[in-house]
Amino acid sequence: MADVIHMDSDPVQEIGRKLTSLSGKILDAQTEISRAAQAMDWAGSGKDSFLQDEEYWAGKMYYLSRDFSEMGSAVTKEREEWEDTAKEFVKRHTPFVQGDGDKHAVDISDIQQGDYGDCFFMSSMGAIAREHPEFIQNMIHDNGDGTYTVTFYDPICATPLGPCIYKKHEITVDGKFPKGLADPTDATADGTQEAWTLILEKAYLQWQRENGIDPLTRLPLLDLPSPSNAMSVMTGKDCFNCPSELMTIDDLNRRFQNGDAITAGSDWEINPNRPTNYFEPVPPLDTAILEEGHVYFVTGVDPIANTVTIQNPWGPHCPPITMPFEDYQKCFWLTTSNSVE
């Protein structure tokens, strides 16, 4: 990983605080105006003797309305400043940065899942980046205006089970990335942040909204957290899906040595045969070795030692996990591979 250079987010945070404060003041002013209007109504109808001074309440309402208008102008100004700052931040993104220690500008250390529950997509990116960094670089075109065009592929299948052909589908996204997306953290010396994982994640979310239905299940693709879908959409090639218990280590190793992108979906608690020691909290951090119902990507296969190494898409702060192949078969219910090129 590179020595991380973070962009200074203080201006945006300060503007956010100002907007929050102004919103509170506006709400208070709205409440006072409502009370003033109610008081004028009471005074006019003579319901309460101590509220007879209608002129007083009319003046109070006038000044409150003026203050309200001035605060509205202040909010407009702050929002314009916010937008200008956001535009400046857009200019400070670049798709690829090769950090210190990275083998390529596209590196598996860039995979750091954010707040979205899309481990299937993050692991698919990591699996492809492991052996095909140039493939991902070719997927993204920087349009030079703060937008990026990503090449995906729509599956067109003869039957629900395939075979499928793939039609190129270009998705253009801007550089305004919502909070919670993947953050590769690498940056250039001037603070320009690497963004290829952000770009692909945002583009895939848009692709899901545009493409609707999975040809196999006829369910909305947005509801299918499937590395098989994700890798096929990125590569334009069919995936091979196999229950891990039916695979041999020689088959897995052959696919790995061929450069296939390989993901592994961990099992759920309902499986009585999974080794519980991998899924139980371990002191001192009280975290489990594996997360159930989570998608990892394969970074090593050793047929001599009979082991498989996997990586959590949460990021490089999660160390690789090497386990006996027999344990891999029991811990991961499905292995998905894609030839990429």
Residues 302-316 have pLDDT tens digits of: 999 999 999 999 998
Asked if residue 98 lies in contact with residue 107, where contact means CB atoms within 8 angstroms, the answer is yes
Q: Residue 333 is inside which H or E element, if any?
A: strand 332-338
pTM for the model stands at 0.69
Question: Residues, the chain, total?
Answer: 341
- Domain extents in the chain: 10-91, 108-229, 240-338
Strand partners, 321: 310
Give the separation between CA 333 and CA 118, rounded to whole angstroms. Answer: 18
pLDDT at position 2:
35
Query: Where does the pLDDT of residue 248 fall: very low under 50, low under 70, confident under 90, or very high at 90 and above?
Result: very high
Give the separation between CA 264 and CA 253, rounded to whole angstroms. Answer: 14
Distances from the Cα of 232 to the Cαs of 169, 235, 239, 297, 302, in angstroms? 12, 5, 6, 15, 26
Topology classification of domain 240-338: Cathepsin B; Chain A (3.90.70)
Q: Where are the alpha helices (DSSP H) in 7-114?
A: 10-45, 54-91
The whole-number average pLDDT for the span 97-114 is 86
Residues 176-205 have pLDDT tens digits of: 887 767 767 766 666 677 889 999 999 998
Asked if residue 263 lies in contact with residue 123, where contact means CB atoms within 8 angstroms, the answer is yes
What residue has token string 């909070």?
Answer: 179
Residues 38-56 have pLDDT tens digits of: 655 555 555 444 444 555 5
β-pair type (193-194, 93-94): parallel
Distance, CA of 224 to chain centre: 15
